[in-house]
Structure 1
Amino acid sequence: MFVISRLHFGVFGSRAEIANLKKQFAPGVTYVIDIVSGERTTRTGRRVHVRSAVVGIVHLEEVLTRRISALQKTGRLVFDEVANDEIVVGIAGDKEGEQTKVAMMIANSHTPNDPKGVFYTSKTIGDQKFRDAQRLVF
């Protein structure tokens, strides 16, 4: 009973229950992941063939709602003088090398950069700019 109250599922569940949990939390439910091929130039100038993942979030509103609900259920959703009665969501980007990553951050938390508050919305490769990566999401 303790495990079910903490994890919200039975550890010794049936195959059907476990299969349903896997479907519910599979990355393909939240994200679409494509493997693309391309060429990259090494430091020595040699061109090599590389494969990389391009990731995009499928249902942004559902994921955002789920994350805010998780913060609320654990008592970590905070409304202070900065946020007033509103949910504050920020967009962050990171361009490193040939990858561009776009993430969202829920600021209504004492630690907004924890895994419950930050989540990727897209990851792209190549010469795409931050605005191009944003267009994949919004």
Structure 2
Amino acid sequence: MKNTTPETRSVVVERELAFPPEKIWRALTQPHLIAEWLLQNDFTPVLNHKFKLSASWGEIDCQVLTIEPEKTLTYTWQADGLESVVTWTLSPSASGTLLRMEQTGFNPEKQKLAYFGAKSGWPRFFGQLEQLLSQID
């Protein structure tokens, strides 16, 4: 019998940032900083912590899956039928940090809009994150 479950798609954004991993980590894990570049939130960097990301258009339900300070942060990202996982990976580099974000779990048939929204949205969020990093100590 043929497997009819479609493969899921992922969105990956990688940027070389001229900041040390510990500074980027703070921007990824401190609620007041997350609100500056991503969305309003009640995030706490604790394994299994459930939190919400909020915008004018609604909320995203999330839960911390892995947390390895200054290295990896993974959380679920669920909204409007989308059940995905966001993984942040920080790798020290010659000029600072290679920051990689991968959001997995987009159904190519049912979540085209969410997929294309993520493909255009994440690079904008990265831009806002870079701007924030240049402004904080």
**TM-score (normalised: structure 1):** 0.27
Q: Judging by fraction of residues, say which structure has more strand.
A: 2
Q: TM-score, normalised by structure 2?
A: 0.27
| RCO higher in structure (CA 8 A, sep ≥6) | 2
Rg: which structure is higher? 1
